[in-house]
Structure 1
């Protein structure tokens, strides 16, 4: 199953409209997990990023209660911007302007119902640019604070220390996460060192297959789900620390266009 339907008490999908009315008003954050459906080499399913978003956001929302932070989790958005993977079957993509609009409209919906803050927990790098633009529009047009967390960025140093510099797409990291939460979805017999075609310094690639033979990076044979469990716990703490620090920052309030400070 790509998106878990075994709802917990903190999931919006578990609530009636009356219960949601109260929960949204009381929540510190509405949480939108974002993933993707795209090729992940020969040994991982196309749902990896969505599975990561589903599981890692669940851990985050559960841990937030220890910090007296109340979070309501929206259903995971399974589709993202994955055009660069479209040379391999199974990849589904929204175009960046479509994806941006989808996130804006979801954010506007919760803002209309009284949500104060939207926390986006993103688990796919291709989503970063449209999510940033969607967050800008939501804050400027809908009076809701947006917190954009790219989960892997908070784990990067720990992952590089353990796996080296080339652990990203379908490599040690994502294989370890999938083995931690959904080991039955990993084609263990297909795990092999990923071969690179090219490694550009400043040139943009057109398709991901310009860079990778099988479709991934690193060496998934070196995956370590037990280590990944530590990374998930540590990264969750780092994200919650960052949220608490941001919540403590002074805020001047909402500016109209005429009142907005000079951005030069």
Structure 2
């Protein structure tokens, strides 16, 4: 018997057959360089941990949620010249997501949370199209890195292998974090064009041109204690969302 029936990869058919799951969670990360000190699987490790820990808390309060095996590849078109950064194009992501949704829909699991762990992924347009194809489904994108105000937990802002991500990895998988002397400073070259620099105009960043070490944000104030506090608060909040989402009437979600 599975000790974690909310983790599909660890669960057998007997458990699945006897459990009325109402909500599936799909962690989706990326495979890419994370400065000199974090592993290529950082986004996957974080997304998987956050999904499972949030599901555990929701399950213990009665929500029948299940975490699917994660998708390890994301949109990495801006890092494609960095060795072993693996890109999955958006149209491929759409096809993968469609097939997952089709399977869940046939099996009458009508709620799906795509728990996104990579800034280059964007599922909203896919969800708009797939909701039309599968009107019985209720699908949501959840970007875990946008749930909390990072400034309340970390002193130096960033968005890639920074103080926040390094603290998380020190809390989740410290054995995969290289020694402190290897940590790059995560200095970012900004756009010269003001609208892009200010964020109201957008183009993709070319990672090898904006960062020497592939990081954005200085990680050197990172600490496991910071990561533990952040992850505890984060998974508490996400678990409450999972409970509410799992229990809602999908045909009556507006006040």
TM-score higher than 0.5: yes
1:170 aligns with 2:161: yes
The secondary structure found in structure 2 opposite 1:146 is: strand
Cα shift at 1:187:
1.4
SS of the equivalent of 2:108 reads coil
How many residue pairs align between the two structures? 242
Alpha carbon RMSD of aligned pairs, Å? 2.3
SS at match of 1:170: coil
| Gapped regions of structure 2 (runs ≥ 5) | 192-196
Aligned counterpart for 1:32 among listed residues 26, 39, 44:
26
Equivalent residue of 2:139, what SS?
strand
Q: 1:103 to 1:152 in 2, by over 3 A?
A: same
Normalization by structure 2: what TM-score?
0.85
Query: SS at the partner of 2:217?
Result: coil
Residue 118 (structure 1) aligned to one of 112, 115, 136: 112
- Report deviation, 1:52: 0.7
Q: CA deviation at 1:91?
A: 0.4
Is 1:237 matched with 2:236?
yes
2:181 equivalent to 1:187:
no
**Of Structure 1 and Structure 2, which has the larger fraction of its residues in helix?**
1
Relative to structure 2, which stretch is displaced further, 7-16 or 231-240? 7-16
1:219-241: CA deviations, max 9, x gaps? 11111211211111111222233
Confirm or deny: 8 A CA contact 1:28 1:117 kept in the other structure.
yes
Q: How do residues 107-256 of structure 1 correspond to structure 2 at under 5 angstroms? A: 107-128=101-122, 131-142=123-134, 143-155=136-148, 157=149, 159-164=150-155, 166-188=157-179, 189-199=181-191, 200-201=197-198, 202-244=201-243, 252=251
User: Is this contact kept in 1: 2:161–2:219, CA < 8 A?
Assistant: yes
Asked if 1 retains the 8 angstrom alpha-carbon contact of 2:110 and 2:137, the reply is yes
The aligned residue for residue 194 of structure 2 is none
Separation (CA, whole Å) in 1 of partners of 2:101 and 2:250: 20
Q: SS in structure 1 opposite 2:120?
A: helix
Alpha-carbon separation, structure 2, partners of 1:102 and 1:78: 12
TM-score by length of 1: 0.83
- Find the residue that maps to 2:40 and give its secondary structure: coil
1:12-31 equivalences in 2 (<5 Å):
12-17=8-13, 19-23=15-19, 26-31=20-25
Task: Write the distance in 1 (CA, Å) between the matches of 2:91 and 2:204.
Answer: 20
Structure 1 residue aligned with 2:88, among 89, 94, 98?
Answer: 94
Structure 1 residue ranges without an equivalent (≥5): 1-5, 254-264
**CA distance in structure 2 between the aligned counterparts of 1:111 and 1:45, rounded to whole angstroms:** 35
Cα distance change on mapping 1:203 and 1:74 into 2, 3 Å: closer
Conserved in 1, the CA contact under 8 Å of 2:34 and 2:40?
yes
Q: Work out the CA distance in 1 between the residues paired with 2:243 and 2:54.
A: 13
2:70 partner SS: coil
Per-residue Cα deviation, 1:126-153 (whole angstroms, up to 9, x for no partner): 112xx22332233221221112211011
Give the Cα separation in 1 of the matches to 2:169 and 2:228: 11
1:154-177 alpha-carbon deviations (Å, 9 max, x no partner): 12x1x2233246232011011111
* CA positional deviation for 1:206: 4.2
